[in-house]
Chains A and B, each alone.
Chain A
Amino acid sequence: MARLPDGRALPGKLFIVEGIDGSGKSTQLDLLRKWLIGQGYCVAFSEWNSSPLVKATTKKGKKKQMLTPASFSLIHAADMADRLERQILPALRAGAIVLADRYIYTAFGRDVARGVPPNWVRKVYSFAVEPTVAFYFRVPLEESLRRILGGRPKLKYYEAGLDIGLSDDPYESFSLFQGRILDEYDKMVDEFGLTEIDATLPLVKQQEMVRELIAPLLSGALRVEPSAWREVLAKESVYGRYLDEVLPERSTP
C-alpha cells in the first residue's frame, strides 16, 4: 500500500529502487517495468532529477558548480516535489503502479554525506508518499567502484563529491563519497524498513526475488485495456515497429 504522509492509503502501488551508483538498480527496475507491462498493468515511471520544470536549474547549477550542500538539497527536493505533485500522486490516486528510480532515500544519503542535518532533510521530504516497497540494492563498496571506475570514466564534479573537498583526486573523492553514502543507506535499512536485495547475485536471480516480493501486492492495481487499435490493425495484417510510438505500450499477445 502506498500511503500519504497523513497515513491515508492510496489505491495505487509505489515501488522504488535505491542503491549507490553501480548497484544495478536501474537495470532491475527496467526489467520489472517490462514484466508488469507484459502482465497488462498500467505502469508509470519516474526518474530522479527529471522534472521538466526544475531540471534545467539543477543542470545549470551543477555545470557551473554553483551548488552548495544546502542548495543542492533544496533543488533536488523541488524536483521531487514537482514529479510527486504532477506525475506520481495522480497515477497513484488512479490506482496505477508507479516505479521510481531513486526516491527520497537518495537525498537522505547524498545530502547527509554532504553535511546536511539528517533531521532537516527528512522533514523537507515529509510531503513524500510512503512507498509500497522500497528496494535497496546493496553492493559492497569495492564491487560498485569496480563496476563504475573499471572503464576509467570522466567523473562529474558533484557525482564525485568534489564539492565537499574530501580529496582533489576525482577517483579518490568518488570512492570516499560513495563510502559515506553507503554508510547512510545501511543506517536507513532499519529506519525506513527498506527491503534489501543482494546486488552481487546474478541479475536474473535478483529479478526473481523482486517479482516474488511484489506479486502478492498487485491485486487491485489498475490494468490497461488491451489496445483495440492494435488488434484491429493486426486483423488487417498491419504491423509496424513505429506503431509502438503511437499506440499504448503492451506486450504482444
Chain B
Amino acid sequence: MTHIRFYGEGLPEFTRTKPLPGRLIVLEGTDGVGRSTQIALLREWVESKGYAVQSTGLKRSAVAGSGIKDAMRGHTLGILTANLFYATDMVDRLEKIILPALRAGFVVLTDRYIYSIVARALVRGVDPGWIRNVFGFALVPDAVFYLHADLPHLIPRVLNARGFDYWESGMDFLPNRDYYEAFVEYQSRLLAQFEALVEEYDFHRIDATQSIREVFQSLTVEIDQVLADMKPISPAEAERELSEALAESKSGRVK
C-alpha cells in the first residue's frame, strides 16, 4: 500500500487519506547508469508476477514534455525556468498518470523522480529550501532505488550510448569549454550531491557497476519485499479500475 504522504504541502485539495492499493517504485541514478534497461526488465518481471504495471519518466507528460525538449534545444533555458518546467511535467504525470494508476492498484515504475531534478538544481546553486518547497507536492514513494556507479564505469557507457550531451555535461553553468572535462566535473558533483540526498530521501543503494543481470537480481530481491502483501490483479480488472480512476481525475482534480 502506498501511504498518502507528501514531501511538503502536497497537491492542492487532495483530500484522500486512505492508502492507495498500488505501489510507487522509483529508479534513480546519474546519466548512463542503466536505469531504462532495468525498468524495461522489471516491467516484464512485475507483469509476469501477475501485477499491472504503469511506467513513466521525466519529460513524458502530455502537457510539458515536448515543451521542455524544445526549450532545452536552444541552450538558453535558465535554471529556475528549467526547474519549474520540470515541476510542471512532474505534477502533470503525478495527477494524470501516477495517482490514477496507484488508485487502480498498479505497480508504477518510474525512471527518475524528483531527486534527479533536486540534485541537478543543487549543484547549480539553487536555494535548497526553494527547490524542496516547489516539489512539496510530490508523493513519497514506496521505495527509491539509487543505482550507483563511479565515473570510470559511467564514461564508456555514456560514450557508447550517445556521447556527451550539453546539459549532462553541465555546459550551461560550468566554466569548462571542453565537453569531456565538463562531463567529468559535472557528473562528479552530481554523484556527490546524490550521496548527500541518500538519507534524506531514504534511497536503497544498488551497486550498478555489476552486470545488468546482477543489478536486475539485486532489484528483484528488494522489490519482492515491496510487493509482498500485494494481491495480483487480472488485466481486465486493472483496466476497469484504471478507467474509473482516470474518469475521476479527468475533472482535473484527483481528490
Contact = CB atoms under 8 A, between A and B. Distances in A.
Interface of A: 51, 53-54, 56-57, 60-61, 65-71, 74-75, 77-78, 81-82, 84-86, 114-117, 119-120, 123-124, 126-127, 163, 165
B88 A71 contact: yes
Interface in B110-165: 127, 129-130, 133-134, 136-137
Contacts of B79: 85
| Main SS at interface, chain B | helix
Interface of B: 8-9, 11-13, 62-64, 66-67, 70-71, 74, 76-81, 83-85, 87-88, 91-92, 95, 127, 129-130, 133-134, 136-137, 251-253
Contacts of B77: 53, 82
Contacts of B252: 65, 67-69, 163
Given A56-B70, A71-B92, A119-B9, A82 B81 contact: yes
B134 to A, nearest CB: 6
Contacts, number: 110
30 contacts: A53-B70, A53-B71, A53-B76, A54-B81, A57-B64, A57-B66, A57-B85, A60-B67, A61-B64, A67-B63, A67-B252, A68-B253, A69-B13, A70-B91, A70-B95, A71-B63, A75-B64, A78-B81, A78-B85, A81-B78, A81-B81, A81-B83, A86-B76, A86-B78, A114-B12, A115-B12, A120-B9, A123-B129, A126-B127, A127-B127
B95 A68 contact: yes
A127 B64 contact: no
B9 A117 contact: yes
Contact of A57 (B80, B88, B127): B88
B120 to A, nearest CB: 15
Contact of B130 (A51, A127, A163): A127
Contacts of A71: 63-64, 88, 91-92, 95
A215 B23 CA distance: 61
A115 B95 contact: no
